[in-house]
Structure 1
Amino acid sequence: MDQLKIRPTDHDDLDPLLDLYRHLDAEDTRPTPRQAAESFDRFLRYPGSAIFLGEVDGLPACSCTLVVIPNLTRGGRPYGLIENVVTHARFRQRGYGKAILDAATEAAWREDCYKVMLMTGSKTPATLAFYAGAGFEQSKTGFQKRRLPARKEP
C-alpha cells in the first residue's frame, strides 16, 4: 500500500472533497461553494464528528463521514453513523477504503460510542463483501424515506 495519510477535513478541503464525491455519484448535484461552507460549518457543531480524508502524495484518495449522535440508552453512550464512503476510482483495491473506515471507527471509540453503523444501498456482492471485510456485520434491517432518488449502481 502506498503511504495513505488520514486526517479530518477543514474548509480548505471542501473543493477537493466535492471533487472526490464525483466518484460516489457522478450525477449528484454539487453544492455551491457557499452552500458547502455553510453545511460544513453546521456539521462541525456535532462534537466528535468528522469528515475523514485519506491522501496519497497529497491527492485525495478516499473519504468517509462520521457523525457522533447523542443517546439516552446504553448508559447515555453515543453511537456513530458512517456515511459517504468513497474511494477515487484510481485508488481502489489498495486497502484505502478499509483504512478510512478503521480511522472513523477508532474516532468513534475515542468518543465512547457503543457502536458504529453504516448503510449501503448497494446490492453488489463485492460492495457487501468489502463492508464485511472491513468488520461490519450485516445484522439489522434498514428502512428509509427518500426525498431524492437512490444512486444508481454501475
Structure 2
Amino acid sequence: MRDDLSDAVRLYRQLYPELDLRVDGAVAAAWAATPATPGRTVLLAEVGGVVVGTADLTVLADAARAGRPYLLVENVVVDAGVRRAGVGRALLAAARAHGGAAGCYELQLSADDPAAFAFYEAAGLAAAARTSEQHLDDDERS
C-alpha cells in the first residue's frame, strides 16, 4: 500500500502542480483509510509494472432518487509520458464497469483543464453542468 501511495502522489503532483504534495503522516493515514471507506475505490493503471494512472471512485446514494447510487470520479490523472496511449480511456472504462456493477445510474466528474474537457468528450462524456466551488480552509493540500 505504501508503494501505491508514493505512485499516486507522484501522479497527483502532475494533476495539482500548485500544491506542495508529499508523502507524510497525514497523507499516509488518508490513503490507508480510503479503501476502508464504504463506496470508495482507487483505480491504478500500470504499464510495464509502473503505475501510470489513477482515478478515485466514490459510489454515493442519491436521496432524490430513492437512494439510487451514482458514481463520482475524481483525481483522474495519467502520467504525462504515456498520455494518448489509451491509459485514460482504460481508467474510464474501468470506472464505468465499477459503476455499472454497483448499480449506478450516472457517472459524474469535473475538470478545469481544456485538454481534459476534450478528452472526456472524446471518451463519450457530455458536459452537463457548471461546477462551482469554494475552498473552506486555507490548507494548500486540500
Sort the TM-score into its range (normalised by shorter chain).
0.7 to 0.9
Structure with the largest fraction of helix: 2
Question: Normalising to structure 1: TM-score of the pair?
Answer: 0.80
Give the letter for the 2:61 counterpart: P
Residue number in structure 1 paired with 2:63 = 72
- What is the CA-CA distance between 1:31 and the residue it aligns to? 4.2
Q: Following superposition of structure 1 onto structure 2, how do residues 1-154 of structure 1 map, counting pairs within 5 Å?
A: 10-122=1-113, 124=114, 126-147=115-136
* Gapped regions of structure 1 (runs ≥ 5): 1-9, 150-154
CA distance in structure 2 between the aligned counterparts of 1:55 and 1:135, rounded to whole angstroms? 23
Give the letter for the 2:123 counterpart: A
Give the letter for the 2:14 counterpart: H
Deviations 1:74-116 (A, max 9, x none): 2311111111111101101111111101111211111111111
Distance 1:45 1:73, change over 3 A: farther
* Gapped regions of structure 2 (runs ≥ 5): none
Question: Normalising to structure 2: TM-score of the pair?
Answer: 0.86
Residue aligned with 1:107, SS: helix
RMSD: 2.1
Residue aligned with 1:86, SS: strand
- Count of paired positions: 139
CA distance in structure 1 between the aligned counterparts of 2:16 and 2:65, rounded to whole angstroms? 35
